[in-house]
């Protein structure tokens, strides 16, 4: 499974930029990979660990902006059609078939 995080954060003031950068650093340090600007994805091993990751995400939310999350299966994530651009390294190396072997 994958936990996707979508966000739009204000960056008009120095304080806003600080919180946006802090949130992005949290995502990267917590195992998320950038899919696109403001869209990050993290592998989740089993439905039982979803609440743990959501609690950690909520604990690190910035004070302003818009942040959303969504859980999708590996098969759904692998079904993403790339219209322009190239797949990320994570998308190339881990497919839904590989995760089924574990």
Domain ranges of the chain: 2-101
Q: Are 83 and 30 in contact, with CB atoms under 8 Å apart?
A: no
Question: Tell me, what's the pLDDT at 89?
Answer: 72
Which residues are bridge partners to 36 per DSSP?
A: 39
Question: Tell me, what's the pLDDT at 95?
Answer: 56
Whole-model pTM? 0.83
3-state helix, strand, coil in the chain (%, to 5): 45, 25, 35
* Positions of the chain with pLDDT under 50: 99-102
Cβ neighbours, 10 Å, residue 92: 9
Cα end-to-end span (Å), the chain:
13
Cα–Cα–Cα angle for 29, 35, 48, rounded to 5 degrees: 60
Per-residue DSSP letters for 49-66? Answer: GHHHHHHHHHHT--SSSE
Question: Tell me, what's the pLDDT at 71?
Answer: 96
Q: Under DSSP, is residue 11 helix (H, G, I), strand (E, B) or coil?
A: coil
CATH classification of 2-101 is 3.30.70.240, yes or no?
yes
């Amino acid at each position: 499974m994958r936990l996707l995080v979508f966000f739009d954060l204000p960056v008009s003031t120095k304080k806003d930029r600080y919180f946006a950068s802090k949130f992005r650093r949290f995502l990267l340090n917590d195992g998320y990979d950038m899919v696109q600007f403001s869209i990050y994805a993290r592998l989740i091993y089993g439905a039982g660990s979803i609440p743990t990751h959501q609690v950690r995400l909520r604990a690190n939310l910035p004070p302003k902006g818009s942040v959303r999350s969504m859980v999708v299966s590996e098969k759904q994530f692998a079904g993403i059609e790339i219209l322009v651009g190239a797949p990320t390294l994570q998308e190339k190396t881990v497919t839904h078939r590989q995760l089924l072997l574990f």
